[in-house]
Amino acid sequence: MSMLNGKIAVVTGGGRDIGRAISIKLAKVGAKVVVNYYNSEADAKETLDHIKSFGGEAIAVKADASNLDDIQYLKAKTVEAFGNKVDILVNNAGGLFARKTLQEFDESFYDLVMNVNFKSTVFVMQAFEPLMGKGTSVINLSSQAARDGGGGGSALYASSKGALTTFTRSMAKALGPKGIRVNAICPGLIGTKFHDDFTKDEVREKVASITPLRREGTAEECADLVAYLASDEASFIAGANFDINGGLAFS
């Protein structure tokens, strides 16, 4: 029997990069997966097709995870497809959007970064918590940036992930008595489109060269950690923020 056989999982931002790897991994180990996406419909379809190619069960739902009405739509489509319970909630929706200095910030940029990276997790958890009970698991996607302040021009991104790290600890205390485990993973330099878009090649090469394991990580390695945290094998782990960065930074 697969480690998550019959479990229902919701993955926000589940169509591409780390979210795609998580969606596929959870399906491979037996979960039925709701792949949420917003701006990446083609990627989400590819993810869904891949899951179905090996006999996995999944649906794709377009919803803005930072919009409260869209969150309720995501919840309704989840219940419609898989019933009135969720076993695994992965809050992966997020983004850097642009590298900007303090003097380049404006209110709309602030709202965009904080809403997508932090508000989304708060209100997705609020919506889905009533469907979760004893033995269920929430995994939030934080970042190494929450540990070290991030690279140049990523102060708001790092701050939003810092808020997410703290929120993870708070929710572990609040929801633990109900049997809901809340944890986070904090990826470092992972080889995805995120860094293709926002990190120069020479910077990536330098960071990889000073990482003890001398390479970038992969989305699949992040997904493996998420699957473990979602499983009963991690049944006494709560309130933890797991570094996955090749040894570059320690908590």
Alpha-carbon distance of 45 to 210, in angstroms, equals 37
pLDDT tens string 47-81: 999 999 999 999 999 999 999 999 999 999 999 99
- Judge if pTM exceeds 0.75: yes
d(CA 82, CA 164): 28
Q: Among residues 38, 73, 110, 157, which one is catalytic?
A: 157
pLDDT of residue 26: 98
pLDDT score for 225? 98
Domain ranges within the chain, ordered by starting residue: 8-238
pLDDT tens-digit profile of 193-223?
767 776 778 888 888 888 898 888 899 999 9
User: 8-238 in CATH: which number?
Assistant: 3.40.50.720
Residue 1 has pLDDT above 50, yes or no: no
> Comparing 17-26, 89-98, 200-209, 224-233, which segment has the lowest mean pLDDT?
200-209
**Alpha-carbon distance 206 to 189, whole Å?**
11
Check if 157 is active-site: yes
- 91 SS3 class: strand
Strands 58-62 and 88-91, how do they pair?
Answer: unpaired
